[in-house]
A and B are shown apart, each in its own frame.
Chain A
Amino acid sequence: MTSQRFLNDKVGSKDFLRSLFESCKVHIVLMFVLMIAIIGPIASFAKTLKKDLQLVELIKNKEIISYFGGITSENEYSDFTVFGLLMIFGGIVVAFSLFSFAFKKNSVNVYFSIGLTRTRMFLNRLAAGTIWIFAVALIPYLTAFLMNVSMFGYNSYQLKLFAYFALLMFVRGMSGFAIGTLAATVSGSAIEMLITSGALSFIVLLPAVLLYGFKSNFLPGYVGGDDGSDKVPILSPWTGLLGNLEVNQLITGKKVPEEFLLTFKKEFFPIVFWAVGAAIIFAVALLLFKKRKNENAASFGKFSIASAVNGAAILFVSIVALSEIFSSLYYESKIKSIALCIILITVISFIIFFLAELIIRRNFKAVLRILPVYGGIALVTFASLLVIGTGYFGTFNKLPEAKDIEYISMSYNDPLACLMYNANVYSPEDYDKEKDYNCKSSNPEDIKMCIEQFNKVKTEKREGRNSIESMSFVIKTKDGKFIARNFPVYSEETYNNYNKAVFDSNYFHSIIKQSLNNVTSGDDYSESIRYVDGVQYSDTVGENRHLLDYYSGDLLASASLSEYEVQIYASSFEMTEELKAALYEDLSNITYDEYYGNKGKPQGALVNLSYASRRETQQYHAENGWFDFYSYDEDSDAEKVSKKTTVANTAILVYPQMAKTAELLNGTEQMKQDSSVKAVIYPDKKLMLNEAFEKIRGDFIISHYSNQINPVIFASANQSSNANDFFVNSDEISKIFGGKLTGTYLDFIELIYGANGVNVTRIDDKAKAQKISDEAYSVYNMYNDNGRCVFVIYDDGSVIAKYLPEKSLSVLN
């Protein structure tokens, strides 16, 4: 006898098999794409094994033990982020294919009148989709795993990677499937489902984004991180599941310990979060599916949940977009008042919301009915903006007493980067993690100085000006709280006073000491100290800038730069403990004005070089648990580096006042003695050399890899080209001028200015040239006026670019 229960099960099973069969096409396409994307690079890698004996050797020695594709910009590596997005989107498409019957009246008539409960119908489709998504996630990576075993031999690390990637892809697919299913159960049509899927994916982020936007745009000093807003992205699969993708997949046995997979929080938390999240969403979707009103099929805007979600998404997006627009208008001084911004954001978002609701609901009365909801939201928006705009009515930036502060850290905007690291403002949590971060001070004088500067900087008023720089503060109180703030500075006076106060502080001196200790010389790949004597500066002052910019396009010239050569070679210089001590003493004793307002000729510069390669690889730091990017030398056997570029990361100018350093350098006979001024050339308008070059550079770019006196690096748009010399070979420059560039560096200066229609005047009167040089400064960022760039030519052939302030222009006459 056939029982009723059996019949039920039989019909249910057949429906499940039918669901499985009917949704196979979508999955087969998805799997096909993923197979090509995932297996393709591995197959390509396997192919290179046949040709690359070095690689074979590395594998033989267990130097390389697995390869699951990579994330570098090279084309032959797969872009892992795209797989993730594809999988999530695929999950939404799967939901659509399984539940699309609910969007048409005629299919609704059939499916909802057959002998299945809604619960069974839903669960059958959920099971079918889950099985397929599992297969889609599993099969490509299982294939990848088997290929790994055949290439490298089996090791447990491959198995872990395979399991991790397959699980990650599965959860991504399921998160998209869950959201798509929920959207399908509350939507009347395919288009409404897709829109609702998008809205559901991101709506959880929007309030946090909104609040973060408000704070970033309107709360003075806000740097984020103290309100958990950085944790919010995990709430959306599109962001939450993509944050943990940066795993180097070309794994070398020596460099990556297997334990890295066990860093549960970093790697697995989003997976667990979204596995649980997807389960909850499916449960909610089932409840809603059981209550689904089929009379609303083939409609748009008739399902109240979808309409509410889409309406809220439109409202939030419009507020976020408007707050961005109005804050930028405010910072560009096109709108002077924050209050006006707040009112405009509220009113315009209201209008957008109202129109959008009219389009969605197509029912004026229905829209009128929900207006009180918007009224409430508008009121909250207005109140939030008001509270944020006033810095919580002044309490946000009120510092504790000096006695309650454990330590302080402040940014220093060093134009010459004297071997220090800027005091970057981390979010408090990250800051605390930086255990070996030494850019901080508990010295009472420093704390006092910090409080004074904080209170001055925070009161800076825009008054229609653009900011010069941002000043960052991190203050840790004795009760364990962090205060992290970043204020834009608008007035030169505040800017210079701040820099001066920091430069002359114990805090800064201790940073110099620590930074010098971090410098090594003769390292294989990244750091070596070289000495270059004779320094020339130029500048890229934009016309709309209030202060001259300290970085960019500084051209190094030296005594060895004759008027007939364009190349400069730096000498390698050993960074001895003795030199470090001398530098520390000199830099501690020299004042801010002496260092940055020096009119003399710098006798040289210590430049810390490193290579910036096009292709970087990551290195795992077992001791602190994170990956760092490193570039490797050409000769390194760990990783091949294609092109590399020499850049100067840090530099210290050596002025005559820095006696101990100068003495040491002179002792090595590498320091050129000062020579007298021979001549001066200058353009007849305020136009810096780099600025002039920028205007005519054609396909070439000037790369500024560091913000100090680094060399100008000429590079084509696609390829870095220079070698170890500071100034690129003249061929590159010559190309810009159609091969016409011949002659000297001075010819080059004239050519560049000439191409800009600017005349260059040369003064050969030695006395006058000396007078001009005496009035000019070596560092440009101190001045904001209509001065001139002057090039001082010395007897020994070196050329120094200096800046003659507007007030001293009379010496040119």
Chain B
Amino acid sequence: MIEFKNITKKYGSFTAIEGISFNVEPSSIYGLIGYNGAGKTTLLKTAAGIYKPENGEVLMNGQNTFDNSGVRKEMFYIPDDLWFPLSATPHSMAKFYSDYYPNFSWKTFQNLLELFGLQEKKRIRGFSKGMQRQTEIVLALAAKPKYLLLDETFDGLDPHKRDITKKLFMEYIAEQDASIVISSHNLAELSNLCDHAGLINGKHLTMDCSVYDISQNYGKFRLIFDRDITKDDFSEIKYKSLDLDGKIATIILEGNSVEEKQKLNALRPIAVDEYKLTLEEVFLNEMEDKKYDITKIFE
């Protein structure tokens, strides 16, 4: 299990993240979402032991990850900004990581290279960005870590490779009982990969729940009326968002209470359709306090 305990990280006088706590269970994938610059990478680097937090600690298997050689042999961090020496090949990099990861499996490495269609002795600097990322994924999985920290790992992967990668991660956690934390902007991908998700907003973790719960926590309804309706008609209802278009209203309710549904029915719509919210919709709704009217930007 990975435990994030009250993590605060500052850059000089600037606080990047503050008081973040959550757990990642074994055999689970935790999706980390947030705006650009929200602090996802900072949190992952802190977890990897690269940064020392001003406050709090990240524990893996109960051990602090900072400057801890034991636990870090079972942890692999794939950063957004990859590092390969000038003349590195997948083979030389595998040799590099095999020195530092005692469980490194050359067989897995060969199998994965074959799966992704990568050449072992070719210079990585000559690879495309997507191929470089695939190489890093191959290296990470071949190192057989119990903890995988992935920062925007799907960036640059084509849909096919993305699909393969997702399946690999699923298979990997099932086989290795591993814990994965992944940050991504592609929320649709996270929604069918992760079993848990956390949202970092304004330095804090504003949401931390299972992906299943997310859909349970929100209710999206499309209501059709036989009359034009206004916002005032919904004044009695606690909603997260409301879009009105003549006789049609789209409303998102936080929680899934029967009471609120009854209030909706009390408005006497002629039809009511209920939908499940996607992760992206949840993300956007959580962030909506910073809604801009983009039509006014170029006035």
**A-side interface residues toward B, CB under 8 Å?**
2, 4, 7-8, 10-12, 14-15, 18, 104-110, 112-118, 120, 290, 293-295
B79 and A116 contact, CB distance less than 8 A: no
Known A110-B83, A293-B52; judge A11-B67 contact (CB<8 A): no
Chain B: residues with Cβ within 8 Å of the partner, total of: 26
**Contact yes or no, A114 B100, CB < 8 A:** yes
- Determine if B49 and A106 form an interchain contact, defined as CB atoms under 8 angstroms apart: no
Besides A110-B83, A294-B45, 18 other A-B contacts (C-beta < 8 A): A4-B70, A8-B70, A11-B73, A14-B100, A105-B81, A106-B79, A106-B82, A109-B81, A110-B79, A113-B48, A113-B75, A113-B76, A114-B73, A115-B70, A115-B74, A115-B101, A117-B68, A295-B11
* Chain A residues with CB below 8 A from B45, complex form: 109, 294-295
Q: Does B72 count as interface, using CB distance less than 8 angstroms?
A: yes
Q: A11-B102, A295-B11, A295-B51 are in contact. Are A109 and B67 (CB under 8 A)?
A: no
In the complex, 24 of the A-B residue pairs with CB atoms within 8 angstroms, ordered by the A residue number, are A4-B70, A7-B73, A7-B102, A11-B69, A11-B102, A14-B100, A15-B99, A104-B83, A105-B81, A106-B79, A109-B45, A109-B83, A110-B83, A112-B49, A113-B50, A116-B72, A117-B68, A117-B69, A118-B67, A290-B67, A293-B52, A294-B45, A294-B51, A295-B11
Give the 8 A-B residue pairs with the shortest CB-CB distance, closest first. Answer: A115-B73, A106-B83, A14-B99, A113-B48, A109-B79, A114-B100, A113-B77, A115-B72
Interface centre among B68, B75, B76, B102 (most CB of A within 10 A): B102
A-B contact count (CB 8 A): 75
For the complex, what is the distance from the CA of A11 to the CA of B11, rounded to whole Å? 32
Which residues on B sit within 8 Å (CB–CB) of A11?
69, 73, 99-100, 102
| Minimum Cβ distance to chain B for residue A15 (Å) | 7
- Find A109's partner among B72, B77, B99 (CB 8 Å cutoff): B77
Question: CB within 8 A of B50: which of A2, A112, A117, A290?
Answer: A112
Say whether A107 contacts B83, CB under 8 Å.
Answer: yes
Complex: how many Å from CA A18 to CA B98?
12
Given A8-B69, A108-B50, A109-B77; A115-B83 close (CB under 8 Å): no
- The verdict on A113 contacting B11 (CB below 8 Å), with A15-B100, A106-B81, A106-B83 known, is no
Docked Cα-Cα span, A546 to B78, in Å, equals: 79
CB-defined contacts of B52 to chain A, threshold 8 Å? 293
Q: Please give the distance in Å from B59's CB to the nearest CB on chain A.
A: 16
Q: Which of B74-102 contact A (CB under 8 A)?
A: 74-77, 79, 81-83, 96, 99-102
- Who on chain B is nearest to A22 by CB? B85
- How long is the Cα–Cα vector from A15 to B68 in the complex, in angstroms? 16
Min CB–CB distance B51 → chain A (angstroms) = 6
B212 to chain A, nearest CB (A): 31
DSSP class of B's interface residues: helix, strand, loop or mixed?
A: loop
Of residues 223 through 251 on chain B, the ones whose CB sits less than 8 Å from some CB of chain A are none
Complex Cα distance, B72 from A12, in Å, reads 13
- With both chains docked as a complex, state the minimum distance between the C-beta of B292 and any C-beta of chain A, in angstroms: 30
Closest to A108 in B: B50
**Distance between Cα atoms of A113 and B83 in the complex (Å):** 13
The answer for the CA separation of A109 and B50 in the assembled complex, in Å, is 6
**Inter-chain contact A18/B99, CB cutoff 8 Å:** yes
Partner of B67, one of A8, A10, A107, A117: A117
**Chain B's nearest CB lies how many Å from the CB of A508?**
71
**Which chain A positions have C-beta within 8 A of B102?**
2, 7, 10-11, 115
Chain A contact residues, majority secondary structure: helix
Closest A residue to B76 by beta carbon equals A113
Residues on A with beta carbons closer than 8 Å to the beta carbon of B75: 113
Chain A, Cβ-Cβ closest to B136: A110
Give bound CA distance, A55 to B50, whole Å: 65
**CB-defined contacts of B83 to chain A, threshold 8 Å:** 104, 106-107, 109-110
Residues of chain A contacted by B79 (CB below 8 angstroms): 106, 109-110
B74 contact set on A, CB distance < 8 A: 115
CB distance from B91 to the nearest CB of A (A): 15
Question: Which residues 34-82 in B have Cβ within 8 Å of A in the complex?
Answer: 45, 48-52, 67-70, 72-77, 79, 81-82
Contacts of B69 in A (CB 8 A): 8, 11-12, 115-117, 120
Q: Tell me, in angstroms, the Cα distance from A103 to B52 when the chains sit together.
A: 17
Tell me, in angstroms, the Cα distance from A114 to B79 when the chains sit together: 13
Chain B positions within 8 Å of A8 at CB level: 69-70
In the complex, what distance in Å separates the CA atom of A293 from the CA atom of B10? 11
Alpha-carbon distance A107/B79, docked complex (angstroms)? 10
* Cβ proximity bits B109-136 to A, threshold 8 Å, 1 near / 0 not: 0000000000000000000000000000
Nearest CB in chain B to that of A12: its residue? B69
Question: How many whole Å from A365's CB to the nearest CB in chain B?
Answer: 10
Closest to B16 in A: A295
Q: In whole angstroms, how far apart are the Cα atoms of A109 and B80 in the complex?
A: 10
Are B50 and A114 closer than 8 Å at their CB atoms? Answer: no
Q: Is there an interface contact between A294 and B70, defined as CB atoms closer than 8 Å?
A: no
**Residues of B with C-beta under 8 A to A4:** 70
Expressed in whole angstroms, the Cα–Cα distance for A117 and B11 within the complex equals: 23
Of all chain B residues, the one with the shortest Cβ separation from A117 is B69
In the complex, chain A residues whose CB is within 8 Å of the CB of B48: 109, 112-113
Q: How far is the CA of A7 from the CA of B70 in the complex (A)?
A: 9
Q: How far is the CA of A11 from the CA of B72 in the complex (A)?
A: 11
B residues in contact with A10, CB < 8 Å = 102
How far is B80's CA from A500's CA once the two chains are assembled, in angstroms? 86
Chain B residues within an 8 Å CB radius of A105: 81
A8, B71: Cα distance in complex, Å? 11
Chain A positions within 8 Å of B73 at CB level: 7, 11, 114-115
When chains A and B are docked, how far (Å) is the Cα of A109 from the Cα of B81? Answer: 9
B100 near A294 (CB under 8 angstroms)?
no
Shortest distance in angstroms between B26's beta carbon and chain A's nearest beta carbon? 20
Asked whether, in the complex, the Cβ of A113 is within 8 Å of the Cβ of B99, the reply is no
Instruction: State the CA gap A705–B11 with chains docked (Å).
Output: 67
Within 8 Å CB of A14, what residues of B? 99-100
Residues of chain A lying within 8 A (CB to CB) of residue B82: 106
In the assembled complex, how far is the CB of residue A119 from the closest CB belonging to chain B, in whole angstroms? 8
Q: Which B residues touch A295, using CB under 8 A? A: 11, 45, 51
**How far is the CB of B227 from the nearest CB of chain A, in Å?**
59
CB closest residue in chain A, given B47: A113
Nearest-neighbour CB distance to chain A for B145, whole angstroms, equals 10
Most B Cβ at <10 Å: residue of A7, A113, A294: A113
Chain A residue, CB-CB nearest to B11: A295
Which residue of B is nearest A6, CB measured? B102
Residue of chain B at shortest CB distance from A120: B69
Q: Report the nearest A residue to B52, measured CB to CB.
A: A293
Name the residue on B nearest A105 (C-beta).
B81
Considering the complex, which residues of chain B in the window 261-291 have a beta carbon less than 8 Å from any beta carbon of chain A? none
Q: Are B81 and A113 in contact (CB under 8 A)?
A: no
Least CB distance, A10 to chain B, in whole angstroms: 7
Closest to B84 in A: A106
Cβ–Cβ < 8 Å partners of A112 in chain B: 48-50
A4 vs B67: C-alpha distance when bound (angstroms): 16
Q: Are A113 and B51 in contact (CB under 8 A)?
A: no
Give the Cβ gap from A103 to chain B, nearest Cβ, in Å: 12
Which A residue sits closest to B50, measured CB to CB?
A: A112
Distance of B47 from chain A, by nearest CB (Å): 9
Whole-angstrom distance from the CB of A24 to the nearest CB of chain B?
15
Hey, what's the 0/1 contact readout for B191-206 against A, CB within 8 Å counting as 1? Answer: 0000000000000000
Which residue of the partner chain B has the closest CB to A109? B79
User: Given the complex of chains A and B, what is the CA–CA distance between A115 and B45 in angstroms?
Assistant: 15
Residue of B76, B96, B100 ringed by the most chain A CB atoms within 10 A: B100
B224 to chain A, nearest CB (A): 53
Residues of A within 8 A of B49 (CB): 112-113
Residue of A nearest to B10 (CB): A295
Contacts of A120 in B (CB 8 A): 69
* Complex alpha-carbon distance, A115 and B76, angstroms: 9
Q: What are the residues of chain A within 8 A of B100 when measuring CB–CB?
A: 11, 14-15, 114-116
Residues of A within 8 A of B96 (CB): 18
Residues of B within 8 A of A110 (CB): 79, 83
Most buried by A among B77, B82, B83: B83
**Which of A8, A112, A116, A117 counts the most chain B CB atoms within 10 A?**
A112
Alpha-carbon distance A295/B15, docked complex (angstroms):
13
